[in-house]
């Protein structure tokens, strides 16, 4: 059985239908062979909407992996990391750190991303940048570590092979 995943695009313009979401479908394409991507959502850059969405997906819908795209920059409306911090139980700083480090190797703007990653309950939440190129690059940097993080979050106590 595959883990269940949801892709959440955080974009005011996308939520209003003023911009076509390209990042969400790009992330879904990367995940679809590895996870059961049950849906994609587009929500506005509002802390309350983001926190409510993340809580509902984890607590009620029991989604294993939630990948957000957008709202991780330094713009006034970029609040995805703040909302994510409000709902996670544990931080996964290594995910965020490697995404910024590897992104910086591609562009110096990579260090501007403020995305965070963490655990809520038994679910992993990953914040990605909003551009399709940056989102897919960042996801590729952590993709191989996600299954292990999910297993551990769900209580797996087996030792990992070195």
Question: For residue 159, what pLDDT is reported?
Answer: 74
pTM score, two decimals?
A: 0.96
Q: Tell me which fold the domain 4-153 belongs to.
A: Molybdenum Cofactor Biosythetic Enzyme; Chain A (3.40.980)
Question: For residue 8, what pLDDT is reported?
Answer: 98
Burial class for 60, CB neighbours closer than 10 Å (0-12, 13-18, 19+)? exposed
Question: For residue 160, what pLDDT is reported?
Answer: 64
| Locus of tokens 């996600």 | 146
Question: For residue 76, what pLDDT is reported?
Answer: 96
What residue segments make up the domains of the chain, in order of their start? 4-153
Q: Which parts of the chain have pLDDT scores under 50?
A: none
Question: For residue 161, what pLDDT is reported?
Answer: 57
Question: For residue 158, what pLDDT is reported?
Answer: 84
- Give per-residue pLDDT as tens, 103-143: 999 999 999 999 999 999 999 999 999 999 999 999 999 99
With contact defined as beta carbons under 8 Å apart, do 76 and 15 qualify?
no
């Amino acid at each position: 059985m595959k883990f269940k995943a949801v892709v959440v695009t955080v974009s005011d313009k996308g939520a209003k239908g003023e911009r076509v979401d390209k990042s969400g479908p790009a992330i879904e394409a990367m995940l679809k062979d590895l996870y059961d991507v049950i849906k994609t959502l587009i929500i506005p850059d509002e802390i309350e909407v983001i926190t409510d969405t993340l809580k509902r997906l984890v607590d009620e819908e029991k989604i294993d992996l939630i990948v957000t795209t957008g709202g991780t920059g330094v713009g006034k409306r970029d609040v995805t990391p703040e909302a994510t911090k409000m709902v996670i139980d544990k931080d996964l700083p290594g995910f965020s750190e490697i995404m910024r480090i590897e992104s910086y190797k591609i562009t110096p703007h990579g260090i501007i991303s403020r995305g965070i990653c963490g655990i809520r309950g038994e679910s992993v939440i990953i914040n990605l940048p909003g551009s399709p190129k940056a989102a897919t690059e960042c996801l590729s940097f952590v993709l191989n570590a996600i299954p292990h993080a999910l297993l551990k979050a769900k209580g797996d106590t087996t030792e990992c092979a070195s």
